[in-house]
Structure 1
Amino acid sequence: MIIGLDHVGLATADPAGAGSLLALLGLSLEDQGTAADYGVECEFWTPAKGGPTVELVSPRDDDTAVNGRLARKEQGLYHVAFEVDHLEGELDRLGREGFVLVDQEPRAGARSGMRVAFLYARRPAGLLIELVEYRRPDVPS
C-alpha cells in the first residue's frame, strides 16, 4: 500500500547551486548519500515544518540515466517518490496495472535503510515514479 509522498526528485548538474536555491526557499539539508546502483549522488532537503523532502539528484558516473536526461532536457523535475509498506508487492501490483517497470527488483537507495524501485507511467503524465521502502533497524526483514 502507498503510505504517502516521500519526496520529489530534481535532476541537476549543479547541486551546490540548486542547494543554495532550496536554502533561500527555507529548506535545510537533512541527509545525503550515494545510490551506487544508479550512479548518482543525492541530497535530501526538508521544509521547516517537515513533510516530504526535495531530493537533488546529480550524476556521479558518466553513463547514468540522469546524465541522459540532463543531456536531453533542462534540469528540473525528475521523479515523484511514494513511500510504500511493501515494495515488492506494490511493484508487482503496479506492473500488473500497466506501469512500465524500470527496476524489476528493489535496489539500495541513497539513505540508510532505504530500498527503492522505479517505474514509469507513460499515460497520462509521462511520469517517472519511485517507490520507497524504509527498513527500520528495529523491524526484522
Structure 2
Amino acid sequence: MILGIDHIGLATDDPDGVAPFLSALGLAASDRGVAEAYGVACEFWHRPGEPAHPAVELVSPAGDDSSVAGRLADPGPGLYHLAFTVDDLEADLAKLRAQGFTAVDREPCAGARPGMRVAFLYARRPAGLLVELVQYDDHPAAG
C-alpha cells in the first residue's frame, strides 16, 4: 500500500547551484548518498526539524553512465520523479504494472539512503511521469 510521498526528485548537473534556492525556500540539506545501481548522487533537503515530511531530492550524475544523463540532455534540468513510500515494494510494483505502469526496474535496487530499496515505473501517457516506489528496511513488510 502506498503510505505517502517520500520525496520529489529534481534532476540537476549543478546541485551546489540549486542549494541557495532551496535554502531560500526554508529547506536544509539533511542527508546524501549515492545510488550505485543508477549512477546518481542524491541530496535530500527538508524543512529543519521535520525529517519525516516529504523531501526534495537533488539527483545528479555520479559518473558517465548515470541514468539521469539523458534527462539532463533533453529536456534538461527540472522535475525528475515523484517518490512514494510503500509498505510492500514487490506487491506494489506488481499492482502498478497490472494497472498500466511500465516497469523501469526488473527488481528493486538499493537506494541512496541506508536501508532504502527502490523501484522505478513510468506512466508515459498522459502524464509523462516517472514514479519511484520506496521502502525502508525498518518497515515491517521490508524484505
Measured on the aligned residues, the alpha-carbon RMSD in Å equals: 1.7
Shift of 1:137: 8.6
Pick from 36, 57, 62: which aligns with 2:59?
Answer: 57
Match of 1:20 in 2: 20
Once the two structures are superposed, residues 88-137 of structure 1 have per-residue CA deviations (whole angstroms, 9 ceiling, x without a partner) of: 00001111111000001000000010000000011221100000000019
Matched residue, 1:115: 117
**Higher helix proportion (structure 1 or 2):** 1
Cα offset, 1:28, TM superposition: 0.7
* 3-state SS, counterpart of residue 80 of structure 1: strand
Residues 137/124 of structure 1: CA separation in 2 closer, same or farther (3 Å cut): closer
Displacement of 1:140? 7.3
TM-score, with structure 1 as normaliser: 0.94
Residues 56-91 of structure 1, C-alpha deviations (whole Å, 9 max, x = no match): 000011122211110112211000000000000000
Matches within 5 A, 1:90-109: 90-109=92-111
- How far apart are the structure 1 equivalents of 2:86 and 2:25? 28
Distance 1:139 1:18, change over 3 A: same
Structure 1 outlier segments of 4+, above 6 Å: 137-140
Identity of aligned residues (%): 58
Q: Distance in 2 between matches of 1:13 and 1:56?
A: 9
Aligned match of 1:124 in 113, 117, 126? 126
Q: Aligned partners of 1:103, 1:137: CA distance in 2, in Å?
A: 21
Partner Cα distance (1:139, 1:80) in 2? 22
Q: TM-score, normalised by structure 2?
A: 0.93
Task: In structure 1, give the amino acid aligned to 2:91.
Answer: G
Q: Evaluate the alpha carbon distance shift between residue 139 and residue 14 of structure 1 in structure 2; reply closer, same or farther with a 3 A threshold.
A: same
Q: Is 1:40 paired with 2:40? A: yes
User: Which of 71, 77, 80 is the equivalent residue of 1:78?
Assistant: 80
